[in-house]
Amino acid sequence: GLGLSFTKDENFGEWYSEVVVNSEMIEYYDISGCYILRPWAMSIWEIMQIFFDAEIKKMKVKNCYFPVFVSPGVLQKEKDHIEGFAPEVAWVTKSGESDLEVPIAIRPTSETVMYPYYSKWIRGHRDLPLKLNQWCNVVRWEFSNPTPFIRSREFLWQEGHTAFATKEEADTEVLQILELYRRIYEEFLAIPVTKGRKSELEKFAGGLYTTSVEAFIPNTGRGIQGATSHCLGQNFAKMFEINYENDKGEKAMVWQNSWAYSTRTIGVMVMVHGDNKGLVLPPKVAALQVIVIPVPYKDANTQGIFDACAATVETLSDAGIRAEADLRENYSPGWKYSNWEMKGVPLRIEIGPRDLANNQVRVVRRDNGDKTDISRVFLVEQVKGMLDKVQQNLFDVAKQKRDACIEVVKTWDEFAKALGQKKLILAPWCDEEEVEKDVKARTKGEMGAAKSLCTPFEQPELPEGTKCFASGKPAKKWTYWGRSY
């Protein structure tokens, strides 16, 4: 039938797969871990891209495009960053019938592709800052459970790679980009995220420090890294000899950042807002914000109803609202309601004989089902107002649910209990890596180990003498912990 076979609370994994397919965002592909992004998903990606691309252009970042193929020499150049990732690198070994002399890697990320050329292009201090970004795909041949948008062997992202004369400039940009990622999640996807710093164990090994925006999925009790903004320090500058003659005539190495968000954002949005009727789209990223549906009754002025639907679409479209009418003759209004609810369209407008007679329309909200009759005289401002209310309500509900999952703990027992209850745990930590490894070891199991998610920039009060939850040593900071994707 039309509806879902699984409910979000009873069978989250099956529910998710069904929603992304039935809403026509994803088509499963015949290669494991690869998915077809259909227009209903691609339109969300494009709306975010328009915002983010415009914002980085204000920051004087320029777009470019580097090859997808990586020569083995440079890929292996960065020893400690590549070692952990090597199993994920996909290689081209043949063309046609013949083997390639030297296998060629497919980019899993582009530091090693780009930085030999940064070394060539950056000569003097006038060549700085160099700020490039590319919108592209990357390939990581992962083996852990593939999930559309969340974990796939190929995904779309943007990767920014910048180089500065000073650490101060790099530090500043890291946080400017992180704020853009917060806006992507909170202003567009209506998802609350926490800005913070990754631990030494969880950070990008090739960098100096990693900041991230962290989201949380209440249904699975798992944290998920939403986007990352790394300061690479001078590590890659040393490796790839990216230096310049500074204004004192000395040779100096550049300070670099790299930052990315990916199509994973779309999966988080599905998981957070979706319900048992299917996808729920935040209006800001909805390709279609209003669907207008005629509700003819016997022969009561059917043409008048269809004309009113068309006129309503025109009025809303002229006001910049993304609206369409579903005038298909061979589907009932009820079928259409279910279909567009499954696709997550924020508002439905119904026009029947009574609405026509009263020069009004009935508006139904997808997020909470509220029905409101509004006069066609005030149509645009009322619909705009309702779209804003849907956007805000989705954020407020998601934030309330996420906050309800946060558990502040002081001891190991409280930590273990909260973990079992699928909580997002805030705990005082001594900031020792050995202790972090110990937490992973002690929580290993079929649900996956707990790990540190981030140390939030907004630190609660840490009373003198507070002990680390895991080691009992003097705590230095509050850190979020939990199972994760």
Ligand X SMILES: O=C1CCCN[C@@H]1CCCn1cnc2ccccc2c1=O
Tell whether residue 152 is a contact of ligand X (CB under 6 A): no
Residue 150 token pair: 């969340």
8 A C-beta contact, residue 274 and residue 219: no
Q: Give the H or E element holding residue 106.
A: strand 98-106
| Count of C-beta atoms within a 10 Å radius of residue 372 | 13
Question: In Å, how far are 153, 254, 425 from 397, measured between CA atoms?
Answer: 32, 44, 20
Among 159, 341, 367, 407, binds ligand X (CB under 6 A): 159
Among 118, 164, 181, 204, binds ligand X (CB under 6 A): 204
Q: Give the H or E element holding residue 170.
A: helix 167-183
Among 259, 340, 395, 415, binds ligand X (CB under 6 A): 259
Of 83-91, 278-286, 303-311, 320-328, the segment contacting ligand X by CB under 6 A is: 83-91
**Using CA atoms, how far apart are residues 450 and 222, in angstroms rounded to an integer?**
9
Q: Give the H or E element holding residue 82.
A: helix 79-82
Question: In Å, how far are 49, 207, 406, 467, 477 from 463, measured between CA atoms?
Answer: 43, 32, 20, 9, 10
Comparing CB distances to ligand X, the nearer of 228 and 265 is: 228
Shortest Å distance, C-beta 479 to ligand X:
20
* Beta pairing, strands 194-197 & 154-164: unpaired
Among 6, 12, 66, 85, binds ligand X (CB under 6 A): 85
Comparing CB distances to ligand X, the nearer of 32 and 276 is: 32
Comparing CB distances to ligand X, the nearer of 157 and 415 is: 157
Shortest Å distance, C-beta 152 to ligand X:
13
Tell whether residue 83 is a contact of ligand X (CB under 6 A): no
Comparing CB distances to ligand X, the nearer of 12 and 141 is: 141
Across the strands, what pairs with 221? Answer: none
The mark string for 111-150 relative to ligand X (x by CB under 6 A, - otherwise) is: x----------------------------x----------
**Using CA atoms, how far apart are residues 204 and 484, in angstroms rounded to an integer?**
16
**Using CA atoms, how far apart are residues 344 and 407, in angstroms rounded to an integer?**
31
Tell whether residue 88 is a contact of ligand X (CB under 6 A): yes
8 A C-beta contact, residue 272 and residue 215: yes
**What SS3 state is found at 463?**
coil
Shortest Å distance, C-beta 25 to ligand X:
24
Residues 227-256 that bind ligand X (CB under 6 A): 228, 230
Q: How many CA atoms lie within 13 A of 456 on its CB side?
A: 17
Tell whether residue 109 is a contact of ligand X (CB under 6 A): yes
Q: What share of the chain is helix, strand, coil (3-state, %, to 5)?
A: 35, 30, 35
**Using CA atoms, how far apart are residues 51 and 272, in angstroms rounded to an integer?**
22
| Side chain identity at residue 462, one-letter code | L
**Using CA atoms, how far apart are residues 14 and 339, in angstroms rounded to an integer?**
19
User: Counting Cβ atoms within 10 Å, is residue 190 exposed (0-12), middle (13-18) or buried (19+)?
Assistant: buried
Shortest Å distance, C-beta 162 to ligand X:
11
Shortest Å distance, C-beta 325 to ligand X:
42
User: What is the total count of residues that contact ligand X (CB under 6 A)?
Assistant: 16
Q: Report residue 416 CA to chain centroid gap.
A: 28
Shortest Å distance, C-beta 293 to ligand X:
43
Shortest Å distance, C-beta 107 to ligand X:
9
Residue 374 token pair: 């509004």
8 A C-beta contact, residue 225 and residue 104: no
Shortest Å distance, C-beta 109 to ligand X:
4
Comparing CB distances to ligand X, the nearer of 130 and 387 is: 130
Comparing CB distances to ligand X, the nearer of 108 and 278 is: 108
Comparing CB distances to ligand X, the nearer of 230 and 483 is: 230
Tell whether residue 479 is a contact of ligand X (CB under 6 A): no
8 A C-beta contact, residue 394 and residue 448: no
Shortest Å distance, C-beta 246 to ligand X:
26
8 A C-beta contact, residue 272 and residue 405: no
Of 14-22, 50-58, 103-111, 444-452, the segment contacting ligand X by CB under 6 A is: 103-111
Shortest Å distance, C-beta 140 to ligand X:
5
Of 10-18, 105-113, 180-188, 322-330, the segment contacting ligand X by CB under 6 A is: 105-113
Residues 3-22 that bind ligand X (CB under 6 A): none
Shortest Å distance, C-beta 425 to ligand X:
25
Of 107-115, 163-171, 362-370, 436-444, the segment contacting ligand X by CB under 6 A is: 107-115
Among 48, 89, 165, 193, binds ligand X (CB under 6 A): 89
Among 4, 81, 386, 455, binds ligand X (CB under 6 A): 81
Among 20, 26, 45, 108, binds ligand X (CB under 6 A): 108
**Using CA atoms, how far apart are residues 324 and 337, in angstroms rounded to an integer?**
14
Residues at the interface with ligand X (CB under 6 A): 81-82, 85, 88-89, 108-109, 111, 140, 159, 204, 228, 230, 258-260
